[in-house]
Amino acid sequence: MASAHNVREDATWLSRADRALFYIEGKLTLLGGLAILLAMLISVANILGRKIFNMPVPGYVAIMQQMVPLMAFLGVAYCQRLGGHIRMDLVAGKLRGRVLWLTEAIGILVMLILSVALFYGAFDHASRALTLGDTTDDLNIPTWPVKMVVAVMFAFLIARLVLQLWGYARAMRTGEDEPVAVPLIEDAAAQALAEARTVSTREKSEDQL
């Protein structure tokens, strides 16, 4: 069967691992959304405090510096699972079968190599900040936890890319048209229909509430 966002599921170990990882990715993305909400509230408090009481939020810049990585990285693996990152499908959209899966696998492999390098750099950077006791200029907030979050999210992205590479490799071996655990390419009409169904489902849920 096909789940939301056109990622097929079945009873195989690959699909089970995909769903288990997707559950964790969803929770991390929720935390990223909460970080965005918190940043908005702090920004409003800073603006109102400055304008009305001439009392901005202490250490506002330092707090925002710590919030930005959370907002940017907590949803990166989730987005990769859904195929939500910006990509060009002019060529890949016209390919079919094993040629398409080979093309996708090569792209995933390149991303995997880059992600491993970025994970190493992020983890080394966070470890160095912990060793040196690096803190922000305002409020003396330790910087290593947020830097470590970046490394952890690259680890989740690596796990997601490994699963997708596994999915494309299996598709090349079996020759299946719709492999599991990978985002399938949709044309504009299919994307519009999926978005319309999503909106319709949300409206029905709101009506029931």
The DSSP string of 52-87 is: HSS-PPTTHHHHHHHHHHHHHHTTHHHHHHHT-S--
Least confident range of 8-12, 106-110, 153-157? 8-12
Residue 135 DSSP class: B
pLDDT band at 97 (very low <50, low <70, confident <90, very high): confident
pLDDT at 203: 55
pLDDT at 3: 41
Please tell me the distance from the alpha carbon of residue 114 to that of residue 189, in angstroms, as a whole number: 33
Q: Tokens representing 113? A: 């190599």
Please tell me the distance from the alpha carbon of residue 164 to that of residue 36, in angstroms, as a whole number: 28
Percent of the chain topping pLDDT 90:
68
Residue 201 amino acid letter: T
On average, the pLDDT of the chain sits at 88
The residue among 115, 45, 93 whose CA lies nearest residue 191 is 93
Q: Tokens representing 141? A: 């907030």
Which residues, including other chains, have CB under 8 Å from residue 9's CB and lie 6 or more apart? 1, 2, 3, 15, 18, 19, 180, 181
Kindly state the helix (H) or strand (E) to which residue 94 belongs, with its residue range: none
Please tell me the distance from the alpha carbon of residue 57 to that of residue 96, in angstroms, as a whole number: 55
Name the CA dihedral angle for 37, 40, 42, 45, rounded to a multiple of 10 degrees: -130
Which residues, including other chains, have CB under 8 Å from residue 130's CB and lie 6 or more apart? 142, 144, 148
Give strand pairing partners of 17: none
pLDDT at 196: 65
Q: Is the pLDDT assigned to residue 93 strictly greater than 90?
A: no
> CA-based Rg of the chain, rounded to a whole angstrom?
21
Q: What is the pTM of this model?
A: 0.85
pLDDT at 75: 95
Percent of the chain topping pLDDT 70:
86
Q: Tokens representing 71? A: 């907002």
Please tell me the distance from the alpha carbon of residue 186 to that of residue 7, in angstroms, as a whole number: 11
pLDDT at 1: 38
